Amino acid sequence: MIKVVITGSNGLLGQSLLNLLLQEKEKYKVFGFSRGENRSGREDFTYVKIDITEEKKLKSKLQEIKANFIINTAAMTQVDDCENNKENCDLLNVTVVKWLAEVSKEINAHLIHLSTDFIFDGVKGNYKETDVANPLSYYGLSKLKSEELLIKSKNDFTILRTILVYGKVFDMSRSNIVLWVKQMLEDKKEITIVDDQYRTPTYVEDLALACKISMDKKAKGIYHIASNTLLSVFEISQQIAEAFNLDKSLIKPISTATLNQTAPRPVKTGFDLSKTNKELNFYPKSFKEDLQKFKETLI
């Protein structure tokens, strides 16, 4: 049996990973770590209620389980919260990763860690794994620091960088661009969306699959995971309206300059997927195609 610990098992990726790995219970023994109660809607795995910012508790639980793989999906992910609360951001997004790397080395576990397009400054776009990072926000900087410490650790690790993840959680408590645009248009509300920021959004089931492929292949190093077509956030919203047969005239374009967000966002990200295609033999599709798959899960 392959023992897998998923930190953040209540989160968007965490829940999707549970659903994927628990399809193969004869292969994977799954442990989910999260704060509070188990909100995944599943009982067929070992749930560990834990605050992973408590070093002793985290390390001793991991020492006890001795997992083959640790998938670290827990993070402070709200970009403006990170800007306003740098200490908490550092603790969860950097220091916890350092502890996970230390304990992974001791128990000989392979650590799979999630990072972001926000480590880039958004000038070039269509980023390769080898492109130079230059984060604009504290969130991006914290994720870059976590990458750097893993690279220095010389552990077995995989870093999966991803972009604008969407999907659903069991109790529908967590929103994302697709669910938000759909809800607003269903309520016939006019929305303003930036037309000068570009992304390749990621369906959470693809991201979970990339984690599983990384385990199966024991892939080491950095990989980019996202859909395969670069779109403006305005175009993304229009495609959501089309997929759900909603009125796209309610979507009005605005520029980033008028937004006044706390943390600056990179203008143009998006990933070059050549390395992922070649080394993981993984070929993500377009946002349009992924949206159809996601739509079916909402019926």
Ligand X SMILES: NC(=O)c1ccc[n+]([C@@H]2O[C@H](COP(=O)([O-])OP(=O)(O)OC[C@H]3O[C@@H](n4cnc5c(N)ncnc54)[C@H](OP(=O)(O)O)[C@@H]3O)[C@@H](O)[C@H]2O)c1
Q: Which is nearer to ligand X, 234 or 271 (CB)?
A: 271
Query: How many angstroms separate the CA atoms of 254 and 191, rounded?
Result: 10
Contacting positions for ligand X (CB under 6 A): 8, 10-14, 33-36, 51-53, 73-75, 77, 92, 114, 116, 162-165, 174
Q: How far is C-alpha 150 from the chain's CA centre?
A: 17
Q: Which is nearer to ligand X, 126 or 247 (CB)?
A: 126
Query: How many angstroms separate the CA atoms of 98 and 81, rounded?
Result: 21
Q: Which is nearer to ligand X, 35 or 252 (CB)?
A: 35
Q: Which is nearer to ligand X, 174 or 275 (CB)?
A: 174
Q: How far is the CB of 1 from ligand X (least distance, A)?
A: 24
Query: How many angstroms separate the CA atoms of 160 and 182, rounded?
Result: 28
The closest residue (CB) to ligand X is: 11
Q: How far is the CB of 150 from ligand X (least distance, A)?
A: 13
Residue 157 in tokens: 């690790």
For 214, list phi and psi in degrees, rounded to 5.
-60, -35
Q: Which is nearer to ligand X, 102 or 250 (CB)?
A: 102
Element (H, E) at 205: helix 204-217
Q: How far is the CB of 127 from ligand X (least distance, A)?
A: 13
Q: Which amino acid is at 232?
A: S
Distances (CA, A) of 175 to 138, 163, 178, 265: 22, 15, 8, 19
Q: Which is nearer to ligand X, 36 or 245 (CB)?
A: 36
Are 37 and 50 spatial neighbours (Cβ–Cβ below 8 Å)?
no
Q: How far is the CB of 245 from ligand X (least distance, A)?
A: 25
Q: How far is the CB of 169 from ligand X (least distance, A)?
A: 7
Are 235 and 197 spatial neighbours (Cβ–Cβ below 8 Å)?
no
DSSP letter assigned to residue 108: T
Nearest CA among 62, 100, 95, 60 for reference residue 76: 95
Q: How far is the CB of 171 from ligand X (least distance, A)?
A: 11
Q: Which is nearer to ligand X, 98 or 250 (CB)?
A: 98
Q: How far is the CB of 286 from ligand X (least distance, A)?
A: 18
